[in-house]
Amino acid sequence: MLKRIMAVAFLLLGGLVTQAQSVNEMVEEAKQLEKQMKEEEALQKDKEILKIQPTQLDALNQASQLSARVGNRQKDKSDKINYFNQAKSYAQEALKVNPNSAESNLSMAIAMGRMALISGAKDKVAASKDVKKYAELAIKLNPNMAQAYHVLGKWNFEVANLNAFERGAAKMLFGGLPDGSLQNAIANYEKARQLDPGFLLNYYELARAYKENDQQDKAIEVLKKALTLRNITQDDASIKADCKKMLDDLQ
């Protein structure tokens, strides 16, 4: 009888080990798909992983950030919103698994940032507070996280460019927002560039900030550098096209 119980226990343990190996292999496959610029396929792989292991942190974070990226490419606003809500939901689950994960806080900052950019004044201001909160938490947990500095730079740029109606909504709802400035945006983007010199989107946003701050020579320098970088993400080809257009307009 004891031998039979032990045999069953070994079978069950073996099944769990095999499943863990299988999930780990799937996680690596999802990461490779992203590196190959097959983001929709990577996202589907993450969804498969999360059906098997709903608390797999790498899959939750990758699914969140890919949902934000894929959603941003959608033409229809309702499709964007669906993807961005999905990004937020995955980030929330990731934070439940590990609230002290810099990557999970970054995922939430990105999801809320994407939502803020397509929202009306009230929702934009509400989301904006979360963007700053989670980006700063990510930086606190990992001071070398380039993307978190980029998100904080984007927050500063957008807050510096809020219109009068949006500022009024911020004052009414929250008593105002912390000051965001082009100077802070530039400092954050430059920090992101220092930490990750190959992050193409950061060059485009840095050039926009320099242009807005009447530093056209700096903007031109940044754009020229951007055009020499290799494409890493699925969006990089279109980002380069935007860089080229801005450069042509400035020269």
- pLDDT for the residue numbered 19: 60
- pLDDT for the residue numbered 20: 61
pLDDT in tens, 116-143: 889 887 788 888 889 999 999 999 999 9
Least confident of 6-15, 36-45, 79-88, 223-232: 6-15
| Banded pLDDT at 12 (limits 50, 70, 90) | low
* Residue 74, C-beta contacts closer than 8 angstroms, at least 6 positions apart: 80, 83
Rounded to an integer, the average pLDDT of 182-189 is 97
pTM of the entire structure? 0.87
What count of other Cβ atoms lies within 10 Å of the Cβ of residue 130? 17
Give residue 52's identity as a one-letter amino acid code. I
Pick the CATH number of 26-118 from 1.20.20.10, 3.30.930.10, 2.40.50.100, 1.25.40.10: 1.25.40.10
pLDDT in tens, 42-86: 999 999 999 999 999 999 999 999 999 999 999 999 999 999 999
Rounded to an integer, the average pLDDT of 100-129 is 91
Rounded to an integer, the average pLDDT of 156-177 is 78
| Angle, CA of 240, 187 and 87, to the nearest 5° | 60
| Separation of alpha carbons 111 and 118, rounded Å | 12
How is residue 73 written in tokens?
């490419």
What count of other Cβ atoms lies within 10 Å of the Cβ of residue 197? 12
